[in-house]
Structure 1
């Protein structure tokens, strides 16, 4: 075999090997590169809000909300929970919320859900909403009860106030997975 033929044969073999490796690592729609189910959207993490210590208030939120790839066109199919605790002086009010809607876009997320556990009379079975802005440094958060009482006003799914409060310095590890509405293969 002459030198040109050998070089061409080696080049073709390398291309075939690279193509096979690429095909082996390519993921199908709805799967990550490892073949695990992929999420269409998610909001996870926790943070304390930046409140003046002189007011003797502290507010903590944590999120574990997910939208499966199979449900990517229906944010109302989101699952998970979020929790919050608000301490004022010696009283702490808590709630566990079952997620009923999750919409994310870029570093922002809005999640709503129905309160399933609380120590605040009248709040159980009410829908509340929270928004998050994940800037990677000092996140922001907003909640539906900014201008109205969740005890009196019905919050529609996927609605909350803009993220107007900042997390504590050095705090806020919210992670937003931007919503994938369409097939990646498109």
Structure 2
């Protein structure tokens, strides 16, 4: 095969691949959807470290999804989220099972019950986190802002996203929820 033919074949293959990827992104296709090409109802994914001038190592990670079939039931959301806070070799972590997810524009609120932790105060408690995915410097908030984990935090409740993530670490992705409104 001559050089021109190889270049043309390679270019065509790249264009086909890019076109397929672009079509999937434009249609909102997601592997977690029940039907091919069907967009999830809402999602929150990604990881970031919080900025703290004292050098605390604080990380939040999310993998939360609301399937298209559950569009009108944010408490049917699935997935997990994880957070940790360490400083000078002390601290802890927690993993929560998602029990509610709502999103609006680039803001998400997720709650979950802590299923794994080395901090007794979080064990089996519902916690809530909010995220603002601004594309430049994401923000985050959490329900235990007062350092108290509440006994009966309702699903999908958290503080506003008041914390800044450390520059260069925020890769949160919020898929906006499109609620179906009654027509009558």
Whether TM-score is above 0.5 comes out as yes
Please give the alpha-carbon distance, in whole angstroms, between the structure 2 residues aligned to 1:64 and 1:127. 17
Which residue number in structure 2 is paired with residue 132 of structure 1? 131
Tell me: CA distance 1:137–1:31, structure 2 relative to 1, closer, same or farther (3 Å). Answer: closer
Tell me: CA distance 1:95–1:36, structure 2 relative to 1, closer, same or farther (3 Å). Answer: same
Would you say 1:48 and 2:49 are equivalent positions? yes
Tell me: CA distance 1:31–1:172, structure 2 relative to 1, closer, same or farther (3 Å). Answer: closer
Q: Where does structure 1 lack aligned partners over 5 or more consecutive residues?
A: 1-24
Which residue number in structure 1 is paired with residue 39 of structure 2? 38
Please give the alpha-carbon distance, in whole angstroms, between the structure 1 residues aligned to 2:29 and 2:59. 32
Which residue number in structure 2 is paired with residue 149 of structure 1? 148
Which structure has the larger Rg over C-alpha atoms? 1
Q: Report SS of the residue matched to 1:70.
A: helix
Please give the alpha-carbon distance, in whole angstroms, between the structure 2 residues aligned to 1:47 and 1:132. 11
Which residue number in structure 2 is paired with residue 5 of structure 1? none
Which residues in structure 2 correspond to 1:175-186 (within 5 Å)?
Answer: 175-182=173-180
Size of the aligned set, in residue pairs, is: 152
Q: Report SS of the residue matched to 2:51.
A: coil
2:131–2:161 contact (8 Å) kept in structure 1? yes
Please give the alpha-carbon distance, in whole angstroms, between the structure 2 residues aligned to 1:130 and 1:62. 11
Which residue number in structure 2 is paired with residue 67 of structure 1? 66
Query: TM-score, normalising length from structure 1?
Result: 0.76
Please give the alpha-carbon distance, in whole angstroms, between the structure 2 residues aligned to 1:124 and 1:104. 26
Please give the alpha-carbon distance, in whole angstroms, between the structure 1 residues aligned to 2:122 and 2:160. 22
Please give the alpha-carbon distance, in whole angstroms, between the structure 1 residues aligned to 2:139 and 2:121. 28
Query: TM-score, normalising length from structure 2?
Result: 0.77
Q: Where does structure 2 lack aligned partners over 5 or more consecutive residues?
A: 1-22
Q: For residue 31 of structure 1, report the CA deviation from its aligned partner.
A: 7.8
Which residue number in structure 1 is paired with residue 164 of structure 2? 166
Deviation sequence 1:9-44 (CA, Å, 0-9, x none): xxxxxxxxxxxxxxxx9xxxx984993442000000
CA-based RMSD: 2.1
